[in-house]
């Protein structure tokens, strides 16, 4: 499943002219005892959001806005994998989020935290990521 996700994220990055940094999901992604956050994720964002692991990291610019898109885990016990979209902007570029998606603003970044529903989270589909990015052009 995670191999297919990495493949889809690489294709997405290529279609949008972004750079796929990786890595693919670690073999023991559920083990948050060993943090595996890699650059280019700003450490201030990681510490404030409690991100312990990140994979399928994509970076790029869209309409002049620097973006980071990644799948990851928080440092909480029994953490669930989720997708996050971080934009380097003070204003919220995601006006049409739903109640199951949250938006945080941290140190000049706006972060859309993927779908949470009944205390569970999961990875955001490529189609949903693309829909959110299209809001940046409006």
pLDDT digits (tens, 9 = 90+) for 71-122: 887 666 556 778 888 888 878 777 665 556 778 788 888 888 876 555 555 6
Answer yes or no: are the C-beta atoms of 87 and 93 closer than 8 Å.
yes
Per the confidence metrics, is the pTM higher than 0.85?
no
How far is 122 from 1, CA to CA, in rounded Å? Answer: 13
| b/e 3-31 (16+ beta carbons within 10 angstroms → b) | eebbeebbebbeeeebebbeebbeeebee
Residue 52 domain boundaries = 2-135
| Tally of domains within the chain | 1
State pLDDT tens for residues 9-49: 999 999 999 999 877 766 555 554 554 555 566 666 666 66
């Amino acid at each position: 499943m995670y191999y297919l996700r990495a493949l889809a994220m690489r294709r997405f990055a290529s279609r949008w002219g972004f750079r796929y940094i990786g890595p693919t999901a670690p073999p023991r992604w559920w083990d948050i005892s060993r943090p595996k956050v890699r650059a280019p994720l700003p450490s201030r964002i990681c510490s404030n959001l409690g991100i312990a692991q990140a994979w399928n990291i994509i970076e790029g610019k869209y309409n002049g806005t620097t973006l980071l898109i990644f799948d990851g885990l928080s440092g909480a016990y029994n953490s669930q994998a989720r997708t996050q979209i971080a934009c380097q902007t003070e204003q919220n570029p995601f006006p049409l989020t739903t109640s199951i998606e949250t938006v945080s603003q941290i140190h000049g970044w706006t972060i859309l935290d993927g779908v949470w529903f009944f205390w569970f989270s999961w990875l955001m589909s490529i189609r949903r990521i693309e829909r959110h990015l299209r809001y940046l052009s409006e």
